Amino acid sequence: MNAGYLALIGRPNAGKSTLLNRFVGQKIAIVSDKPQTTRQRIIGVKNTPDAQLVFVDTPGIHKPMHRMNRRMVDEALDALRQVDVVVLVVDALERTGEGDHFVLNLLRDVKSPVILALNTVDRMKKTELLPLIEGYAKALPFRAIVPISALSGDGVDALEKELVAALPEGAPLFDRDYFTDQSERSMAAELIREKVLVHTRDELPYTTAVIIDRFEEPAEEGNVTKIFASILVDSASQKPIVIGRHGEMIKRIGTEARKDLEQMLDGRVYLDLHVKVRSDWRDDERILDELGIK
Ligand SMILES: Nc1nc2c(ncn2[C@@H]2O[C@H](COP(=O)(O)OP(=O)(O)OP(=O)(O)O)[C@@H](O)[C@H]2O)c(=O)[nH]1
Ligand SMILES: [Mg+2]
């Protein structure tokens, strides 16, 4: 039996959370086409007959401009040093830049084995892949380089084999029915935030946070879970964007979030959303603590 922690590390938008969800077999991390979607570490566990893989999804590594972003990047850097195996997730379609070199340099000092998952190969020709693999092999002594598509699942089994082989021998760390460290409350907040991310543009995805004000479990079987949540924006001018003309945007966010919440909670949900202005919340330690962004 092999068991241990594996960190999913990489630049924002590389596909780390998509890969986490694929391994775990259900949606535990939110995903969007906007960078900096993940703001805190999320644990997701995959059990196989002969291994337990405890994945740690991390925020994308980027240049931090706010306290929140510093905390996000620190979360990723801490994870790097605490795991048995590091999985570097790279979007193979993106041209490598300064940020990638920064991440590769960080990995030079990591003691645990590092495996490269070259992602988004569903959108590439095989001939384009080879020089890329050669380039990465020269840049760092990866234990393995595996082309994958986190979206379609291609190559993910091959990656899993490499990961299991790199894990130390040992007993499982968690019960077999344990799959994430997130509470229903924080997953609810994340699902609502995902809908804001998906439907808004420009700076909105970066300036929004969701706080659950009240989470009322159903009193009896078949009853409704009542969730009261606030969407924080950091300036008054952003409030009408989240609300939309005649409230269309907030309605859409609410409807889509409620569907996901009902699926997650396996029951009916009443969702009440409010938009609140909290200027500079991204630099407010108290709000960051409240949000659980460590
Ligand atoms: N075509 C394609 N798209 C992918 C693949 N993996 C992820 N994506 C898309 O890439 C975008 C980013 O995915 P995420 O999983 O949120 O990326 P992330 O690395 O977790 O991003 P951060 O949390 O911001 O660091 C989403 O729109 C995904 O649907 C893939 O294998 N192929
Ligand atoms: Mg993510």
**Full-model pTM:** 0.97
**Distance between CA atoms of residues 123 and 154, nearest Å:** 12
Render pLDDT for 211-238 as a digit per residue (tens, 0 to 9).
999 999 998 777 899 999 999 999 999 9
- Which residue CA neighbors atom 32 of ligand 1 most closely? 120
Across the chain, what does the average pLDDT equal?
Answer: 95
pLDDT band at 39 (very low <50, low <70, confident <90, very high): very high
Helix 184-199 to helix 248-265 angle (10° resolution) is: 140
DSSP 137-202: HHHS--SEEEE--TTT-TTHHHHHHHHHHHSPB---SS-TT--BS--HHHHHHHHHHHHHHHH--T
- Which residue CA neighbors atom 2 of ligand 1 most closely? 120
**Distance between CA atoms of residues 40 and 57, nearest Å:** 8
Render pLDDT for 71-102 as a digit per residue (tens, 0 to 9).
999 999 999 999 999 999 999 999 999 999 99
Ligand 1 binding pocket, CB closer than 6 Å: 10, 12-18, 31-33, 35-38, 59-60, 119-120, 122-123, 149-151
Is residue 43 a contact partner of residue 54, using CB atoms and an 8 Å limit?
yes
* Distance of CA 210 from the midpoint of ligand 2 (Å): 16
**Distance between CA atoms of residues 107 and 104, nearest Å:** 5
